[in-house]
Amino acid sequence: MSSYDVIVIGSGPGGYVCAIRCAQLGLKVACVEGRDTLGGTCLNVGCIPSKALLHASHMLHEAEHNFAEMGLKGKSPSVDWPQMQKYKTSTIDTNTKGIEFLFKKNKIDWLKGWGSIPEAGKVKVGDELHEAKSIIIASGSEPSSLPGVEVDEKTVVTSTGALELGKVPRSMAVIGAGVIGLELGSVYARLGAEVTVIEYLDAITPGMDPEVQKVFQRTLKKQGLKFVMGAAVQGTEAMKTKAKVTYKLRKDDSEHVLDADVVLVATGRKPYTDGLGLDTLGIEMTKRGQIAVNAHWETNVKGIYAIGDVIEGPMLAHKAEDEGMAAAEVIAGKHGHVNYGVIPGVIYTHPEVANVGETEATLKEAGRAYKVGKFSFMGNARAKANFAGDGFVKILADKETDRILGAHIIGPAAGDLIHEVCVAMEFGASAQDLAMTCHAHPTYSEAVREAALACGDGPIHM
Ligand code: NAI
């Protein structure tokens, strides 16, 4: 029986980051992973492959729509799907091998197989039992199921199947206008599929700033995506080469059927804890099936911790990473901390959508007085030159103190721009602090500064 200070179960962004930080802090660490490669859902069948397809399909979109106007002549490229799949696979490979390299560099043992916890202090992988002073569960999440919908990962697929379709479908029905549905829906729309998104609510991307929702949906419509809103999916029926989706419109209860070559089910994810033995251990769960933890990510069983998608909070790779680092620090006797008020969310469509902190709705609910500074990318020289004038930056600041409370961006590189606001928020900055910071010209970042100026005496270019 081998013994460790820490055994991490799961090698996704939460698990592998936690294992590396534990090793850096001088602990003897092993990480259990049952897949053939490290990196979990994010690297193998999530964030990374979808970003490769988003990038490739965006390039095609640019060639089809903007090249001629820039004076770039010639025929737009056609899609070589097998090659695009190879590009996606090589992107995955370089990233997963990178984690393997980091494990070796940090002397982390990879225990290959699926782990379970027969009792506190012990982890079983295959027939082998290992000892650990601390165990960290970082086993991630899996797609939630929907009544009446049977996934075969060929015709009716989750995000996993959608990343490796045999060919670009002529038509795709997407159930759920959340992050996954819109990212993958826009990939296939750009590659030529007729994409229809069926959403239960009346607005896309629930919880997001309503103005962003509106501009976002309008832009996606311009890109060819169709939307059926206020529609509850009743079920799907997979046939040989296509599938039927049945849905009911909430406004009049009328039933409709949509045919599509492929149906993508993207109605949320749920914690993945199968086979860990949590029941036997008596680990407390929340009402929503997540592992309950205290402020130090420790469960009710001493020495067993949990981080990432298996606990409460947004299911985001970077939230899991932060928890992984913080939990490692707690275990090493330091003061791990995660600022849950400053966790950015990004949707990697084109334009990108990003947000951090409070929304107007949460501020109103809390009865807090706030001001809004908004700036459109139409007033940003760089964005106009790059055909990226759709969208805006919105900063919310405290009405009295001017302290930045949140930001909502739709526009070019929104996923990068948001971090300027995140850093400002971490330092408790005011909108004026941001507005007084010199920003290079011409950059997209100037739009963030202009929105900060709009919280005070007003923006210059609007
Ligand atoms: P989601 O929770 O973002 O969206 C699901 C959507 O499906 C909601 O709009 C919901 O109203 C709708 N819906 C639910 N049941 C329905 C029904 N019966 N008929 C029609 N619509 C229905 O879930 P999604 O997109 O599957 O993503 C899962 C998780 O993965 C999220 O927590 C997300 O944050 C994370 N993720 C994050 C990414 C990123 O940060 N870029 C990328 C991919 C996933």
d(CA 443, CA 196): 35
Q: Tell how far the Cα of 399 is from the centroid of ligand 1, in angstroms.
A: 33
- State the average pLDDT for the chain: 97
38-48 per-position pLDDT tens digit? 999 999 999 99
Which residue range(s) make up the domain with 417? 342-454
Q: What is the pLDDT of residue 372?
A: 98
Query: What are 410's two structure tokens?
Result: 């739709």
**Which residue, 319, 338, 357, sits at the end of a domain?**
338
Report if residue 220 sits inside a domain. yes
DSSP letter, residue 382: H
Q: Tell how far the Cα of 206 is from the centroid of ligand 1, in angstroms.
A: 9
Q: Tell how far the Cα of 135 is from the centroid of ligand 1, in angstroms.
A: 30
Mutate which of 184, 246, 267 for ligand 1 pocket (most atoms within 8 A of beta carbon)? 267
Report if residue 460 sits inside a domain. no
Mutate which of 183, 200, 216, 321 for ligand 1 pocket (most atoms within 8 A of beta carbon)? 200
Q: Tell how far the Cα of 222 is from the centroid of ligand 1, in angstroms.
A: 22
Q: Which atom of ligand 1 is nearest to the CA of 266?
A: 26
Res 240 pLDDT > 90: no
d(CA 244, CA 238): 7
CATH of the domain at 399: 3.30.390.30
Q: State the DSSP H helix or E strand holding residue 422, giving kind and residue range, or none if neither.
A: helix 414-426
Report if residue 313 sits inside a domain. yes
Report if residue 379 sits inside a domain. yes
Domain identity same for 434 and 372: yes
Report if residue 151 sits inside a domain. no
Domain identity same for 122 and 30: yes
Nearest to 270 by CA among 27, 20, 41: 41
The dihedral built from the CA positions of residue 205, 211, 212 and 216, taken in this order, carries a sign that is positive
Q: Which atom of ligand 1 is nearest to the CA of 181?
A: 25
427-453 per-position pLDDT tens digit? 999 999 999 999 999 999 999 999 999
Mutate which of 47, 50, 179 for ligand 1 pocket (most atoms within 8 A of beta carbon)? 179
Query: What are 3's two structure tokens?
Result: 């013994």
Residue located nearest, by CA, to atom 6 of ligand 1 = 176
* Total domains, the chain: 3
318-367 per-position pLDDT tens digit? 999 999 999 999 999 999 999 999 999 999 999 999 999 999 999 999 99
108 Rama class: left (phi>0) / alpha (psi -120 to 50) / beta? beta
Report if residue 462 sits inside a domain. no
Domain identity same for 69 and 129: yes
Residue located nearest, by CA, to atom 27 of ligand 1 = 268
Q: What is the pLDDT of residue 1?
A: 80
CATH of the domain at 263: 3.50.50.60
Domain identity same for 311 and 350: no
d(CA 376, CA 92): 36
- The SS3 assignment for 197 reads strand
Domain identity same for 68 and 138: yes
d(CA 354, CA 410): 6
Q: What share of the chain is helix, strand, coil (3-state, %, to 5)?
A: 35, 25, 40
Res 248 pLDDT > 90: yes
d(CA 317, CA 95): 14
- The SS3 assignment for 85 reads helix
Domain identity same for 20 and 93: yes
Residue located nearest, by CA, to atom 41 of ligand 1 = 347
Domain identity same for 372 and 412: yes
Domain identity same for 388 and 405: yes
Domain identity same for 223 and 249: yes
Domain identity same for 126 and 275: yes
**Which residue, 302, 318, 338, sits at the end of a domain?**
338
d(CA 111, CA 2): 11
What's the pTM value of the predicted model, to 2 decimals?
Answer: 0.97
Q: Tell how far the Cα of 269 is from the centroid of ligand 1, in angstroms.
A: 7
Q: If you average pLDDT over residues 228-238, what whole number do you get?
A: 97
Query: What are 310's two structure tokens?
Result: 């298996």
Residue located nearest, by CA, to atom 2 of ligand 1 = 268
Res 52 pLDDT > 90: yes
179-189 per-position pLDDT tens digit? 999 999 999 99
Tallying the residues shown for the chain, one arrives at: 462
Query: What are 139's two structure tokens?
Result: 């086993």
Q: Which atom of ligand 1 is nearest to the CA of 47?
A: 42
Instruction: Convert 176-193 into a string of H (helix), E (strand) and C (coil).
Output: CCCHHHHHHHHHHHHCCC
Q: If you average pLDDT over residues 76-93, what whole number do you get?
A: 97
Domain identity same for 300 and 371: no
Find the residues whose C-beta lies inside 6 A of ligand 1: 146, 175-181, 183, 198-201, 206, 232-233, 266-269, 314-316, 346-348
Query: What are 9's two structure tokens?
Result: 């179960």
Q: Tell how far the Cα of 199 is from the centroid of ligand 1, in angstroms.
A: 10
Domain identity same for 209 and 334: no
114-146 per-position pLDDT tens digit? 999 999 999 999 999 999 999 999 999 999 999
**Which residue, 338, 358, 381, sits at the end of a domain?**
338
Q: If you average pLDDT over residues 194-204, what whole number do you get?
A: 98
Residue located nearest, by CA, to atom 32 of ligand 1 = 315
- The SS3 assignment for 412 reads coil
Q: Tell how far the Cα of 435 is from the centroid of ligand 1, in angstroms.
A: 35
Report if residue 237 sits inside a domain. yes
Q: What is the pLDDT of residue 336?
A: 97
Report if residue 175 sits inside a domain. yes
Catalytic residues: 441
d(CA 217, CA 203): 8
